[in-house]
Each structure stands twice: as C-alpha cells, then as structure tokens.
Amino acid sequence: MAAKAADFLVYDEVAGVYRENPEQAVRDDVEKHAWRHVGMTILKDWRLYLMLVPMLLVFLLWRYLPMYELLGCFKVPDEVLPVADQYFSGFSYFKSLLVGTDAPDFWRALRNTFLLSFYGLCFGFPMPIILALFFNEIRSNLVRSTCQVLTYLPKFMSTVVMTSLVTMLVKQGAITSGYGIISQALASLGIISQEVATAGLLNNPDFFRAIYQISGIWEGAGYDSIVYFAAIIAISPTSYEAAQIDGAGKMSQMRYVVLPGILSTVVIMLITRIGALLNIGYEKVLLLYNPTTYVTADVVSTFAQRKGLEGGQKGLAAAAEMMNNVVSMLLVISANTIARKASDTSLY
Amino acid sequence: MKRKLETSEMIFKVISYTLLCFFALACLYPFVYAISASISGAHAVDYCEVVLFPKDVQFDAFARMFNDNMFWNSYSNTLFLTFYGTIWSLLTSILGAYALSKKRLLFRRFFNFFLVFTMLFSAGLVPQYLNYLDTKAVFNAVGITDDKWLVVIAMGMAAMNIILLRNAFEGVPSEIEEAAIVDGATEFQVLRKVYIPMCKSTIATVTLFFAISRWNGYFWARQMISNSNEHPLQVFIRLKLEEYTDPEQMAGWNEVFSSDSVIYALIVCSIVPILIIYPFIQKYFAKGVNAGGVKE
C-alpha cells in the first residue's frame, strides 16, 4: 500500500511536508479526458447510439431481467415481497432436487433430456446428410426441386399443428371411433398389437421416444439437408472427373471426393449438436406428453413448467432449470472452442 | 461423348430415386390425409376407411368451423400478432444490427457479447414467466389492457437474426457509405438508402424467420393472454384438440361428420395460408439456413 500512496503524494524535502504528486495530476487529467472523449464521441455520433437503444432495452428488460429473478432459487417464495427482499433459504431446493424428495423425478427428467437429444444425434443427425447425398444423385432439376420443396414443407408447420397431426394419426380408439391411421397401418403390418394400437401410442411410454424422433425427422430432415447440399454442390466437378479417370466407382467417389468435401460442414454441425445436448425445446414435449408417459417423456423444462407454473413451486423449478442451463452453457462453450481449434470456424 | 453408367452407379441412382420419392411422399402424406379426413363422412373417418382419398364427401366440418366466431377471432388475432410482431422485431433488429456493424462503435465487443450471451444462457421458464407477469402489470398500469401487445413487444426477439443482419451489413463496402456521407446523408438516410436496399435478401430472410415464429407462437401466448377472445390460432387449435379428443366430452357426438374431421379441418385452415405463400418464400428460407450456419 505504501508504494501506492507514493503515487498520489510525494515528500517535499524542502518544506518537509507531503504534497500531491504532479505526475499523478497529469495522469488523472488524461483519465478524465478519456471519459470526456467517450462522451464527445457518443454525442457526435448520437444517431448511431440511438439506434442501439431499442434493441438493448428489449434484451435488457426481457432477457436479462429474468436472470435476476433466478435469485428466487435461493429464496423462500413470497407473493408480496420482491425477490431481493425474500428470505434466504440456502441451497434447500438444490438439495431437494439432487438427493431429496424431488430427486427421482429430477434425475429422470435429466436422463430423458439427455436421451432424447442423444437419440436425435444418432438417428436425426445422419438423415439430412443422407438426403443431401441422394439429392445430389438426381440430375433432373424438376424432380429434385420438387422433392426438395416437399421435404422442406413440414418445417413450415407450427409445433402445435405438427403435434396435433401426430396426435390424431396415432390416437387411441374409443367406443364411437377407431384409432389413428398410422396405428392402423402399424397394426395391420403386425408391428404393434391391436391392444397397443387401441390404447393409443401416445399413452404408451415405450413409444414416446420413437414418435419424438420420427416426427423430428419428418419435420426437419429435409430442411436441415440444405446446408449439406450446398456443401456438396460447392465441390468442383473436376474432382469427380479426375476420380473417374483414375477409375473410381460410385462408392470410391463418395469416399474420396464427396465425404472430404462436406466433412468440415458435418463436423461443425455435429459439434453444435453436441453442444446443444441438454438444450431441448419444451414446446414439442409439452404438446405430446401426458401423465402416462412421464417415465420417458418428462424433460427438465417440462418438469420445471409443471412444478413452477402449475404446482406453484417456483424456486424449485427455477433451480432445476438453472442447473440444466448452466451445464448446457458450458457444453455449448466447450463445443464452440473445440470447433474453433479444429477448423478455424465457430458459431460465435 | 456419353459415358456408360457403371453398375454401382446405376444401383446407387435407383436407390436414391426410390428412397427420395418415398421420403418426399411421406412428408406430403399427413397433409393429404388431413384434407381427405376433414371432408369425409363420420363412419369413414372413425373406422379408418379413409386412406388417401375422401369418402362420403361432406363439408359440414368446415362449415362448423367457419360458423364459429372464435375461429375467425383467433385468426385475426394471429394476423395481428404476426403483422405488428414482425414489424417491431424487424425494426429493433435492423437498427441495432446496423449500429453493431460499425467498427467505430464504442464498446462494440461488449454489445456483441451482450447479444451472444442470451443465446448461451437463458434464465428458464419460471423466471421468464415472473418477468412477463411484472411486464403485464406495468402495461396494465399505463393503460394497455390488450395482452396481445405484451406478446408483440416483449417476446419473439432472436439474437441469431440480429447477427445475421449484422454480418450482412458488415459486408457492404464502406466506400459506398463514405460517398453517401460526403453527399450529406445522415446516419438514418445511409441506413435507409444504402444499407437496406443492398441487403434486401438477408432482410427478406430475417423477416420470414420473424414472421414464421410469430405465426407459430403458442406457449407464451397461452400463458400470458388471459382473455380467450384474444387467443391466437395456435392456442385455439390446441384447445379444440384437447376438447375433441376427450372421450367424455365427445360421448354424445352424433353428426354426419366425425369429431376428428373438425380437428383436421382446423389443421387444414391453419396451413392453407402458408401453403399459398410457400412457393414464393421458400428460396429465402433456404438462403437463411446457409447464411446462418457458420460464422467466421
């Protein structure tokens, strides 16, 4: 600290007193001017900074202020008091979620979140790549663009319309009506039994993950193939010709020309996907699940929605989601860092 | 000179054609089925006699929908939300993205981080819900009692779209801007006369993303809009689905059309506008995906 004080005060040996350090005064002045400089720049350019204001306000009010409400996961809930004044309850919610009374449900939700994403990675991820490879085989422009337009189509449907269609197509049978057309088809092919079809596939926990993945592929595979298709058509035709002259068949061309050409895109997409492993959309699950399928369908965000918005345990729900989101954020950041190291391209 | 196709090539071609056509038809089938089922008779729908083409054609399910005032109400609410929501999101995004694209902006790195952080971490459902409740209280206090405005103003902002726009603006050569400034243009004029015309296709893409997400918005609209007259179409569809698939409520159903037909009719009604404009907009959709995929 003594060294620091010497910056501001110097000992005047003639008068025998401490005086202000003249150099420090100059430094202070520069600092003051730096801020004045900032002020002047903003004033001179006020239109530019004014343009920034609405966007910053929207993000501040409706993206950052909710993060302040996250304090609620350490507090005893209270209807009247604002979150900052509520009583501190320590880590009781976290304890309850991890080892206490809510632990079975929470771990189940966490497991389901991970598994739904993981199966999506295994089945949903390769589909667009395969589609793009097939698109590339079709030389007729008319056939190809027709196929492309048809496969992008489901992406335009809202989650509500999509899930309503799915619900209707596999719906349970009733006294007055039969079951959904897809259940009917599966039952007549012998894939599922009549009883299962009559009970409704969405009421059967064994089928939830399959329905979720298949409807996901139906909805997104065509649209996601655009990126890969763009990468494939960017490969120079001379590469194929060279390979053909060297005697490469179709499979060897795939292996040595197409695959290296799209590899960087695939890697980026894969890393992004891995980063988003715990980041699953709540809307689709919320619209497809019901109490009979919680075993396989309940994910962390729907768990939080049920506990917090319907059950009134807001602190508990906030704590559950916060744990999920923090881990998710770490995953995204590390995935992004790996992507940047591996290929000089990253998302942010 | 035409080269003869090799056997492996032939096989691969046949496989791709078959599987692609199969997948494309599978994508289309649920929609065709929905249309057929919505205009088929009660017995045909209930006993799965409708597979592809309609049977015992009736239009009463549609008539029932069209006679429902709530249906038209929800439709107009959706149009309202989509129109004003898209304008509001687009306006704030374009202005913000333009400022962010300028190298001379002070604290540029901080503002960028401010945006990107919202993509990395979100507070979660419950904190957002509490926040929207507070916002609602403030809106009510200043006299805006229509919850649709809350949905329009407070929701639907996406950092990704702003970044898309920012990158497009950064791609405009600075010489053009300098020329405009020498000619005496202000910042707003530069944006309006130079940047917006030059980045038309990105703006079209972003508009499309905003409009689609507004049209499809469901969860928060259901949570925050308390008056059922203000519900948008998506909420209306969901509520109808919940009502019509409940066996207890449907026990006394006795019409020439199945209760399922009403749901299918609703689904058809909600996708028809999208199907009509789809051919015109799908190329922008494709463009957005390629632009948004990877950043340097």
Q: What is the mean pLDDT of chain A?
A: 85
What confidence score (pLDDT) does residue B120 get?
A: 85
Q: Are A63 and B118 in contact (CB under 8 A)?
A: yes
Dihedral, A122, A282, B267, A144 alpha carbons, nearest 10: -30
Which pLDDT score, from 0 to 100, does residue B149 have? 93
- φ/ψ of A32, rounded to 5, equals -60, -40
pLDDT of B270 strictly over 80: yes
Chain A interface includes B139 (CB < 8 A): no
> Which residue of A lies nearest to B280 if distances are taken between CA atoms?
A149
SS3 A241: helix
B140-158 pLDDT per residue, tens: 999 988 889 999 999 888 8
Q: CB-CB: which of B21, B125, B294 is closest to A308?
A: B125
Helix or strand (DSSP H, E) at A10: strand A9-12
- Give B294's pLDDT tier (boundaries 50, 70, 90): very low
Domains of chain A and CATH, by start: 2-44 (no CATH), 102-343 (1.10.3720.10)
Of the candidates B280, B262, B266, the residue with the CA atom closest to the CA atom of residue B75 = B266
Residue type, A56: L
Q: Residue A268: is its pLDDT beyond 70?
A: yes
Question: Within a domain: residue B180?
Answer: yes
Per-residue model confidence (pLDDT) at position A1: 42
- In angstroms, the CA B296 to CA B294 distance is 7
- d(C-alpha A156, C-alpha A166), whole Å: 15
What's the angle, vertex CA A58, arms to CA A56 and CA A59, rounded to 5? Answer: 65
- Which of A55, A326, A101, A225 has its CA nearest to residue B112? A55
Confidence tier at A223 by pLDDT (50, 70, 90): confident
Task: Give the torsion through C-alpha atoms of B221, B225, B226, B231, to 10 deg.
Answer: -70
The minimal CB distance from A168 to the residues B97, B100, B264 is found for: B264
Q: How many CB pairs under 8 A join A and B?
A: 282
Query: Is the CB of residue A233 less than 8 Å from the CB of residue B295?
Result: no
* B112-116: average pLDDT: 91
Query: Taking a C-beta distance cutoff of 8 angstroms, is the pair A200, A173 a contact?
Result: yes
Residue among B96, B16, B64, B36 nearest B268 (CA): B36
Contact B73, B92 (CB under 8 A): no
Q: Which residue is it, tokens 């190329």?
A: B283
Those residues whose C-beta lies under 8 Å from the C-beta of residue A141, and which sit 6 or more positions away, are none
User: Residues A51-76, buried b or exposed e (16+ Cβ, 10 A)?
Assistant: bbeebbebbebbbebbbebbbbbbbe
Q: What is the pLDDT of residue B3?
A: 56
Contact B125 A301 (CB under 8 A): yes
The pLDDT of residue B1 is above 60? no
Lowest mean pLDDT among A68-72, B13-17, B138-142: A68-72
Residue B296 banded pLDDT, cuts 50, 70, 90: very low
pLDDT tens-place string over residues A289-312: 999 999 999 999 999 999 988 888
Answer yes or no: is pLDDT of B16 > 50: yes
CA-to-CA distance for A251 and A127, rounded, in angstroms?
Answer: 18
Quickly state the pLDDT bin for A335 (edges 50, 70, 90).
confident
Contact assignment for A55 to B218 by CB distance below 8 Å: no
Q: Which residue has the higher pLDDT, A213 or A187?
A: A213
Other C-beta atoms closer than 10 Å to the C-beta of A96 total 18
DSSP track, A118-160: HHIIIIITHHHHHHHHHHHH---HHHHHHHHHHHHGGGGS-HH
> pLDDT per residue over B182-233, tens digit each?
998 888 899 999 999 988 888 988 998 899 899 989 999 999 998 889 999 9
Residues 6+ away with beta carbon under 8 Å from A247: none
Which residues of chain B have a CB within 8 Å of the CB of A270?
A: none
A-proximal residues of B, 93-132, CB under 8 Å:
93, 95-100, 102, 104-106, 111, 114-116, 118-132
Show which of residues 160-219 on chain A sit within 8 Å of chain B, judged by CB atoms. 160-161, 164-165, 167-169, 171, 174-179, 181, 184, 218
Instruction: Give the three-state DSSP class for A348.
Output: coil
DSSP-H helix ranges across chain B? 7-38, 42-46, 60-66, 69-100, 108-120, 125-141, 147-154, 159-170, 174-182, 187-190, 196-198, 200-216, 219-224, 233-244, 259-293
Interchain contact A282–B (C-beta under 8 A):
yes
Mark yes or no for CB contact B27/A150 under 8 Å: yes
Give the chain A residue nearest B158 (alpha carbons).
A59
**Of B141, B132, B101, nearest in space to A66 by CA:** B132
Query: Which residue, A294, A296, A292, is CA-closest to A306?
Result: A294
What local confidence, expressed as pLDDT, does residue B84 receive?
A: 96
d(CA A89, CA A80): 17
- pLDDT at position A49 is 92
Mean pLDDT, residues A98-121 = 92
Mean model confidence pLDDT for chain B: 87
SS3 A11: strand
Q: Indicate the range of A78-82, A297-301, B162-166 predicted with least confidence.
A: A78-82
For residue B256, the enclosing domain spans 69-293
Residue B163 covered by a domain: yes
From B47, B120, B126, residue closest to A317, measured CB to CB? B126
CATH number of the domain that residue B236 is part of: 1.10.3720.10
**Domain count for chain B:** 1
- B23 lies in a domain? no
Q: Are strands A9-12 and A17-20 parallel, antiparallel or unpaired?
A: antiparallel
Which two tokens mark B210? 């905003």
φ/ψ of A12, rounded to 5, equals: -85, 105
CA B115 from chain centre, in angstroms, equals 22
**Which residue of B18, B19, B27, B152 to mutate against A (max A Cβ within 10 Å)?**
B27
Residue B50 within any structural domain of the chain: no
Burial of A309: CB neighbours in 10 Å, binned 0-12, 13-18, 19+? middle
Q: Is residue B45 part of a domain?
A: no
State whether the Cα torsion B166-B170-B175-B176 is positive or negative: negative
* Residue A32 burial (10 A CB sphere; 0-12, 13-18, 19+): exposed
Nearest to A161 among B104, B191, B271 (CB): B271
- pLDDT at position B219: 93
Name the strand (E) or helix (H) holding A239.
helix A237-245
Report the gap between the CA of B11 and the closest CA in chain A (Å): 9
According to the model, what pLDDT value does residue A179 have?
80
Question: Looking at CA atoms only, how far is residue A9 from chain B in angstroms?
Answer: 34
Give dist(CA A136, CA B61) in Å, integer.
Answer: 43
Query: Which residue of chain A is at minimal alpha-carbon distance from B8?
Result: A250
| Relative orientation angle of helices A205-233 and A259-275, to the nearest 10 degrees | 140
Q: Contact B157/A62, CB-based, under 8 Å? A: yes
